[in-house]
C-alpha cells in the first residue's frame, strides 16, 4: 500500500474501499474480503445507511483498530454546530468506534460554517484524527479556508481520466488539502473501457484498464476510493504498486480530459440542486 501524508501528519492509505449503495449483506461479505486482500481504508457515510454494517464487519473480522482507517461523512441536513455534534455521535455509535480517522462534510450546502466549527472542535478533542470536505468546488473551498482555523485535510471529489480536476488540484495543493478521488473509474462509463489509448497502455503493461487508471491517479498524488463487491476485482485493484506509467503514458492520459463530470451534472447545476436540496 502507498500512503499520502495529510496536512496534519496523518497517513492516508492510497486506495480505499467505498461502500456507497452496498446493502448490509454486501458490506458483511465485502469488508472482510477487502481487509483480507490488504485494504486498510473503509469509506462510508451517514447517507449510505450502512455505518452499522461497516462497524459489525470490522468487529467480525477482528482487525486491530489501529490497522484500519475509517472515513465517514456528515450529511448536509445535519450541518450547523449543534446538529453536527449530535450527528457525529450517532455515526460513531453506529460504527461502534471510539474515534474516527477522517470525518468529511458530504456536500457544499446548508450551514457548512457551523458544521466546520464543530468538526474543528472534534479534531481538537481527539475524537477524529483528520477532518475534510467532499464535493467542495474551489469557490466554497477558498471561502471555507479563509474564514476558519483548520484547513481541510482532504477534499473528496469525482476524478477520473475524463474529469481530471487539474485546476482544483492546483488550488488545493497550494493550501495543503489532498484531492481524493471518488468515482475513479468514471462510474463504469463504457468509453473508459473501450478507449484505444487506455487499451494500448494496458496491453503494454499486461494490466487491466482499471489498474492503469488507478496507477495514473496514484502517480498524480491522488488517493482514491473505489467500490467493488467482487473479491477478484478487490484484489486486482490493489495490484497496482509494482509498476509505474511512463511520462509519455501520463501525457497521453492527460489528453483524455473532457472537463466535465461523468454523472452528467455538477453540484452547481440548478436542476441538480433542486433535487438534492429536497433531502435537506
Spell out the domains of the chain, with CATH numbers in brackets.
Answer: 3-279 (3.20.20.100)
pLDDT for 270 equals 75
Tell me whether residue 48 is one of the annotated catalytic residues.
yes
Q: What grid cell was written down for 138?
A: 474551489
Q: Which residues contact 73 (CB under 8 A, 6 or more apart)?
A: 44, 45, 46, 47, 103, 104, 105, 106, 134
CA 248 to chain centre: 27
Mean pLDDT along residues 46-69: 98
| 160 carries a ligand binding annotation | no
- 272 or 88, which is more confident: 88
- Could you report the per-residue pLDDT of 12-51, keeping only the tens digit for each? 999 999 999 999 999 999 999 999 999 999 999 999 999 9
pLDDT for 188 equals 87
Catalytic residue among 48, 79, 103, 112: 48
C-beta separation of 198 from 191 below 8 A: no
Q: For the whole model, what pTM was predicted?
A: 0.93
- Could you report the per-residue pLDDT of 124-135, keeping only the tens digit for each? 999 999 999 999
Mean of per-residue pLDDT scores for the chain? 95
Q: Which residues contact 229 (CB under 8 A, 6 or more apart)?
A: 22, 26, 29, 30
- Could you report the per-residue pLDDT of 208-264, keeping only the tens digit for each? 999 999 999 999 999 999 999 999 999 999 999 999 999 999 999 999 999 877 665
- Please give the backbone phi and psi of residue 239, each rounded to the nearest 5 degrees, phi first: -85, 55
Amino acid at each position: 500500500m502507498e500512503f499520502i501524508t495529510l496536512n496534519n501528519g496523518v497517513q492516508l492509505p492510497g486506495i480505499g474501499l467505498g461502500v456507497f449503495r452496498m446493502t448490509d449483506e454486501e458490506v458483511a461479505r465485502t469488508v472482510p474480503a477487502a481487509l483480507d486482500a490488504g485494504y486498510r481504508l473503509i469509506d462510508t457515510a451517514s447517507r449510505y445507511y450502512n455505518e452499522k454494517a461497516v462497524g459489525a464487519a470490522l468487529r467480525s473480522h477482528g482487525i486491530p483498530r489501529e490497522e484500519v482507517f475509517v472515513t465517514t461523512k456528515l450529511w448536509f441536513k445535519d450541518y450547523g454546530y449543534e446538529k453536527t455534534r449530535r450527528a457525529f455521535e450517532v455515526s460513531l455509535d453506529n460504527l461502534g468506534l471510539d474515534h474516527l480517522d477522517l470525518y468529511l462534510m458530504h456536500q457544499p450546502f446548508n450551514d457548512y460554517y457551523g458544521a466546520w466549527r464543530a468538526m474543528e472542535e472534534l479534531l481538537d478533542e481527539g475524537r477524529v484524527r483528520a477532518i475534510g470536505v467532499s464535493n467542495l468546488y474551489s469557490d466554497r473551498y477558498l471561502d471555507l479556508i479563509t474564514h476558519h482555523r483548520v484547513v481541510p485535510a482532504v477534499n473528496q471529489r469525482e476524478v477520473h481520466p475524463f474529469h481530471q480536476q487539474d485546476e482544483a488540484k492546483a488550488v488545493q495543493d497550494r493550501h495543503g488539502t489532498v484531492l481524493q478521488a471518488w468515482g475513479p473509474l468514471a462510474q463504469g462509463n463504457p468509453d473508459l473501457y473501450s478507449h484505444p489509448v487506455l487499451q494500448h497502455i494496458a496491453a503494454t503493461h499486461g494490466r487491466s484498464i482499471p489498474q492503469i487508471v488507478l496507477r495514473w491517479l496514484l502517480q498524480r498524488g491522488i488517493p482514491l476510493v473505489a467500490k467493488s463487491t467482487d473479491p477478484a476485482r478487490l484484489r486486482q485493484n490493489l495490484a497496482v504498486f509494482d509498476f509505474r506509467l511512463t511520462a509519455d503514458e501520463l501525457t497521453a492520459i492527460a489528453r483524455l480530459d473532457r472537463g466535465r463530470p461523468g454523472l452528467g451534472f455538477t453540484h452547481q447545476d440548478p436542476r441538480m440542486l433542486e433535487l438534492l436540496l429536497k433531502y435537506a
